[in-house]
Every structure is written in C-alpha cells, then in structure tokens.
Amino acid sequence: MGLLSLGTPLAWDDAKRYADHVRTHGITQFLSIWDRLKDRCGDELLWGDEIEYLVVSFDNEGKNARLSLRQTEILAKLAAITSDIASARGESASVPTFHPEYGRFMLESTPGSPYSGSLSDILSVEDDMRWRRQLARRYLKQDEIPYTLTSFPRLGVPGVFTDPYFDPADAKSSHSLFLPEEITNPHARFPTLTANIRRRRGSKVAINLPLYIDSRTPRPFVDPTIPWQRNIYAEDPEAKRGAALNDHIYMDAMGFGMGCCCLQITFQSCNVNEARRLYDALVPVAPLMLALTAASPLFRGYIADVDCRWDVISACVDDRTEEERGVKPLKENRFRIPKSRYSSVSLYLSDHWMHRPEYNDIDAPYDQAIFDRLQKHGIDSILARHISHLFIRDPIVIFSETIDQDDENSNDHFENIQSTNWQTVRFKPPPVNSPIGWRVEFRSMEVQMTDFENAAFSIFVVLLSRAILAFNLNLYLPISKVDENMARAQKRDALHTQKFYFRKDVFPPGGPSRPESRCSSCSSSGASSPATSPVDGTPRKEKKLRNCWPSVPRPANGVHAKPVEDEYEEMSLQEIMFGKADAFPGLFGLVYAYLDTLDMEEEERVKLERYLDLIKRRTDGTLKTAATWIREFVRTHPAYKFDSAVSQEINYDLLVAVDEIERGVRHTPDFLPQGAKR
C-alpha cells in the first residue's frame, strides 16, 4: 500500500504548502535515478505476486462472520514466525513476507524472493501461495480465517460487522456514516491519507454502485440503512443532499475501496526500453483480465449490478476538487483532471515505432514546467509527458521529518506521488541503492478465492508477457477505447455479455517474428543461449523464460499507416482469447505458440495446462467467474428474499462455503475443475 514512513504526518492545510517542494525534489530524484540507470541492460526475468487477504472472525453461535481487526497483532506474530523459519533454514530469501494494508482486517503477502523464468519456479507459484496462506492461518485464532476475497459483503452495514465492534460515530478521519475509525490501519499514514483526501476534495468521497434490482426490490430504492438524519460531522447531510443516489449502493469512505483485495504481478524488465514496451502492451490487456477475474458483486450488504471493485476504489480516493472535476470553473486549481488518481492508464509510454501519437487520444493534462525540465535534461517527450502527467497530483501525505531529503540517496518524494497514482499498469524505476532493475506492475486483476486460481492467472499473465515480447506483438488501441473496455469489463457477467475493442492484426509488418532466430542485444543473464543449433541450424528451444529481446526494426520501406479506426474492432472476449477465424490467433494461441519455443518435459507441460485450462473454461463459460458464483449463491440461499439484500445469515453461510472451496472439501464443478485442489 505505497510508501510507509515513520514520523509526524501533516494535516492537509500544512501539507499543501510543501506540494511544490515535493514535486520539485521528486523530479530531481527521478532524474538522479535516470542518470545512473538509464543504460542498465540485461536484467534477467524476476517477478513476483502480491496477494491480499481479509481476516474474518466467526461467531458460530450467533452465525455472524465479522472482520477481525487484529492486523497489528497478527503481523507481529507472523514476523516472528517467519524470522524463526529463516533462522532455522539459515536463509531468509525464500521465506514469505507479510505486510500491512489499509484495512486493519487485511494482510498482504509476497514471496520471500522473486520467481525467476525457470519452469520450476513458474510451477512453484501455487505451492508458494498455499504456504503463505497456511502460515497465516496457522497463527490466527481458532475462529479466524484468512480469505482471498475481493470485497467483504457486509462492510459498513448497521450492527456488528467487525470484531471487536466499534461505533461509526467516531470516524474522525473519514467522517463516514458507516465505517468506524478503527477499521483503518493505525499507522499514521493511513488515517492521514483518509482525512487529507476528504479535506483536499472539500467533501467526503461519494461512491455509488448500481444496485442489482431483484423481483422484490423496492422501486425506487431509497436505502433504509443510511443514517439520513445523523448530525455529528459537517459532511453528514451530504447523503440527503444528493451524494447518495436512488437505486444505488452508497458508500462514503476510503475504506470501502482500499478495503478490497486484489492480485498484482510485478516484472523486472531487461532494460528501461523493454519496460516501457511491456507497459504499453499490458495497458489494453488490463480490462480483459479484470473481466476474467471478476469477483466482487456484493457491497455494504447488497447485491450490486456490477461484478468488479475498480470503480469503488477509483471513487474512494478521488481527491479532486469541484474545479478539478469540472463542476466549477478553474479558479484556485491549475488543472481540470478527467480521472481520479486511481484509474486506468491515460498515456502510453514507449517510444517504439509501433506507438502512434494518435493512440494517446484522451485529455491527459500535464505540468508544462515539469515537462520542460525533463526534456531539457534529455528525457524524450513521451516519457516526459508521462511523468509530468503523474505530477499534476498533489502529495497527500507528507511527514515533517522527511521534507528535506538527500535527492541522490532517496526517492521518497518521487514515490510519494508515483505510488499514489494507482493505475491499471505502473512503470516503476529502480529503487535507490538497490540491485532491482526497471519494472512493470500489472494491477487490474481481482484476487480469486483459491490459491489455484491465483496461481493460474499469475502464470497466464507471465506467459502472455513473454509471448508479447518474443513475437513483438502490437496490441495498441486508442486509450479512449481502453477506457471504454474498462467500463464494460465491470458490468455484470461482462465476460459473456460485452464486446471489447481489440486490435485486428497484432503482428509486426511481415508477419509473426520468430523468437528462435533472434538474439538479444543485451549480453547478460537476461539473454539466452544461442538461438540455433551449431550442428544443423535448427531453432534451439529454451530452458527458461527469456527477458531480453531485440525490437523489430522499423521496416525499410516505412510503415503503411492506415487510419487508426481501421486497426481495431469490437470482439467478444471469447474471440480475443481463442481467436477469430484466420485473422487473429487469440491470446491463447499466442501463449501456446510461445510455449512451443520452450524445452520442457511432458510433465511440466501437463502441469501448465491445468492452469491454462481453468482460464479457458472461465472464458468459454463452462466454469463461472467468482462474481457469478457468489451472486448465484446469494440468490439461491433459502433466506434470500429477492430484495437485493445480503443478510447476516447469508453472509455467514457464504463465507463458510468459500472457505470449504479453498480447502477442497466443497465440490463445485461449475466453478473449479476437478482436481484443482491438490
């Protein structure tokens, strides 16, 4: 959850005086990193996942599943245990790590060391995820269970939904009608972030998800669970003044979004140019993977008419003022900003010849002074615009002790703004004084209920990333179409009801590249062995996933630039994944073509196929998404009244069922393939 500093956080009125200071020194820090590492090349493929958990406490007598607020105690215990494991092994690199998250009911886990491109590492992902879950579960109380569930269905309902119970009347940082102060991680960064977003915005955040209208849902639906007449904080009347929409699920605090869980993948790239190329290629993939991993149809005790968390998180940290949102003319602020700081990507990043300027076709304001400074330093215009676009945002949390930094040995000011631009894909410069290289983080996916699913989607994204680089694929779409795809991806059952814009021809001029015949331009561990046999010249299959690939040169006779609108069309997700006649092989076809370039044993291929089969069956509809399965569980529960409400009893039984599925004791042939739990 971004940068965790120790010290005294400044309230917004004090922090905003240092905004320009942070921006100026943040750019200085970026340029320092750039000067030292812009020519770094040859890094091997290292990658890792981040998985977030909800810790749920069960009152079995009262049939109530509640969020456990023991994060601090749990993390302290896990830190001691993992330290003991590391000492017993004589190593620490392979021991998983657990981290705090925004919600006091959340944990985040990462592998103790990154995975490499070896097939043995790829096939160890599920075991590593399972070990992390088992460690967490082993040191919880007997009535507590860690869940990889995207959203807790009854967060913010009237009554008891946390253990222990706290009253929302004391929500001093968020002023929420629904969430108590104690829901938030006590580290000073988190309540300050919450309060400063509210103060900068000039009101509470307003989240409205369309309600799923069932046969007995009152119309219009005016939510009876909203305390309309509460009068504790100045913002309390906002709900009845229009912030809460009829026929919607209204939420009013950062905790509703940042209390959601997700699955994120970070790749180390061969060099900065490869990172920029991979970043661009994954931007159009992000909405597709959001639809495929849809897992959050329930919010604040109701069934939503969407399947994903994205818009909830986007709205929960939307610190834009009325002027920046376009509600009022610009007067006090510098920019009209079209998107929340948690949003889909607004600009492509690569200077590769396949990137046409027309693809960046939406309004993405940027700081002209910062842009000019970056260009004067030698940064190309595309990267300069990306950085200067991120830096139109204010730093929300500033610690008094870290205002003045050594810009050669710190990147905290840069990360203060970079890490609070939460987008579907993130370009990540190397940390200061670290062996880590240029990275790309893929951020759109919803966390899945089981380790098998999370491993499957992680592995698929890794393999797809290698296919993109190996075959020099061109996945560019206009950003406006990517944004439209993001909106469609969140709709109920989008996987089967929506069409998505996608490129008709993904291959470079002249047809698919042959990775076997090309050697990397970087000589290091990132490059592979000779691409052809020295005996007969046949393509040599590779033992591990390569990281360094030369780019296809611009064709000598130029590129025939047809109108951008002729480059893409609407396709079903089935067509995008499986292919469309002879015109497009589909993403699965590309992944399998890449697998054919690898030297693997039959047993390894069979294991990989288990994971790919899950995603294929989710795509073709023979297996349900988590969102569909959860929605149907609620609607077929004996206690459901077809009024869109998720009662305490239904929630309890749902959480019991999800745990049984994860442990492999509940048979769900419409959701998981047979043998998914090993």
Q: What percent of the chain has pLDDT over 90?
A: 87
Cβ(37)–Cβ(429) under 8 Å? yes
Task: Using alpha carbons only, give the angle 643, 647, 652 rounded to the nearest 5 degrees.
Answer: 145
Task: Give residue 528's pLDDT.
Answer: 44
469 pLDDT higher than 90: yes
The CATH number of domain 12-449 is 3.30.590.50: yes
- Assigned token pair, 56: 């749920």
- Is the Cβ–Cβ distance between 307 and 296 less than 8 Å? yes
Looking at residue 243, the DSSP 8-state letter turns out to be I
| Helix residue ranges, H only, 326-411 | 368-376, 381-390
What CA–CA distance (Å, rounded) separates 255 from 243? 17
State the burial class of residue 539 (Cβ atoms within 10 Å of its Cβ: 0-12, 13-18, 19+).
middle
Handedness of CA 424, 425, 429, 435 (dihedral sign): positive
348-362 average pLDDT score? 96
- Closest-CA residue to 23 (of 318, 420, 409, 337): 420
Q: How far apart are CA 617 and CA 531, in angstroms?
A: 34
Burial of 60 (0-12, 13-18, 19+ CB in 10 A): exposed
**pLDDT per residue as tens digits for the range 497-550:** 999 999 999 998 866 665 543 334 464 444 444 455 444 455 688 999 999 988
The whole-chain average pLDDT of the chain stands at 93
Of 139-153, 253-267, 406-420, 536-550, the one with minimum mean pLDDT is: 536-550
pLDDT digits (tens, 9 = 90+) for 149-187: 999 999 999 999 999 999 999 999 999 999 999 999 999
- Is residue 257 within 8 Å of residue 507, measured between CB atoms? no
The pLDDT value given to residue 93 = 56
The per-residue pLDDT for range 544-584, each reduced to its tens digit, is 999 998 878 888 777 767 899 999 999 999 999 999 877 78
Neighbours of 260 (CB within 10 A): 28
The confidence score (pLDDT) of residue 583 equals 77
Comparing CA positions, the residue from 289, 295, 612 lying closest to residue 447 is: 295
What is the residue type of 240?
Answer: K
Strand 342-343 with 422-423, pairing: parallel
What backbone phi and psi angles, to 5 degrees, belong to 194? Answer: -60, -50
The dihedral built from the CA positions of residue 367, 371, 374 and 376, taken in this order, carries a sign that is negative
Q: What is the largest CA-CA distance in the chain?
A: 83
Give residue 277's pLDDT. Answer: 97
Asked if 464 and 480 count as a contact pair (C-beta separation under 8 A), the reply is no
The average pLDDT across 283-304 equals 98
What amino acid occupies position 669? P
Strand partners, 572: 499
Tens digits of residue pLDDT in 418-456: 999 999 999 999 999 999 999 999 999 999 999 999 999
User: Please, what is the end-to-end C-alpha distance for the chain in angstroms?
Assistant: 32
654-677 residue pLDDT tens: 999 999 999 999 999 999 998 776
Residue 135 confidence (pLDDT) above 50: yes
pLDDT band at 91 (very low <50, low <70, confident <90, very high): low
Across the range 348-355, mean pLDDT stands at: 95
What pLDDT, on the 0 to 100 scale, is given for residue 517? 38
Residues 350 and 474: beta-carbon distance below 8 Å: no
Instruction: Centre a 10 Å sphere on the Cβ of residue 507 and count the other Cβ atoms it contains.
Output: 17
The whole-number pLDDT of residue 527 equals 46
CA distances from 369 to 182, 414, 661 (A): 41, 16, 54
**Top-confidence residue, 35 or 139:** 35
Closest-CA residue to 260 (of 501, 426, 67, 114): 67
Helix, strand or coil for residue 439?
Answer: strand
pLDDT level of residue 86 (50, 70, 90 thresholds): low
The helices-and-strands tally (H runs, E runs) of the chain is 22, 17
Q: What is the predicted pLDDT for the residue at 668? A: 96
- 513 three-state secondary structure: coil
pLDDT band at 678 (very low <50, low <70, confident <90, very high): low
Give the separation between CA 300 and CA 309, rounded to whole angstroms: 13
Instruction: Encode pLDDT of 364-383 as tens digits.
Output: 999 999 999 999 999 999 99
Q: How confident is the model at residue 516, as a pLDDT?
A: 44
Structure tokens at 199: 């103060």
The Cβ-side half-sphere exposure at 646, using a 13 Å CA radius, reads: 30
Residue with the two structure tokens 């949102």: 325
User: Which residue intervals of 283-392 are DSSP H helices?
Assistant: 285-292, 310-316, 322-325, 368-376, 381-390
Identify whether the C-beta of residue 576 lies closer than 8 Å to the C-beta of residue 586: yes
Instruction: Please give the Cα distance from 132 to 240 (Å, whole number).
Output: 45
Q: Give the span between the Cα atoms of 657 and 449, in whole angstroms.
A: 11
The single-letter DSSP state of residue 107 is E
CB atoms within 10 A of CB 391: 25
**Portion of the chain with pLDDT greater than 70, in percent:** 92
Q: DSSP of 409-420, one letter per residue? A: T--HHHHHHHTT
Q: What is the rounded CA–CA span in Å between residue 302 and residue 614?
A: 29
Strand (E) or helix (H) holding 628? helix 626-635
Query: How far is residue 381's CA from residue 385's CA, in Å, rounded to a whole number?
Result: 6
| Cα separation, 248 vs 220, whole angstroms | 10
pLDDT the model gives residue 676: 77
**Domains of the chain: which residue ranges?**
12-449
Amino acid making up residue 490 = Q
The pair of structure tokens assigned to 351 is: 């200077």
| β 47-59/144-147 pair status | antiparallel
pLDDT score at 533: 44
* DSSP SS3 for 605: helix
Question: 4 pLDDT exceeds 60?
Answer: no
pTM of the model: 0.95
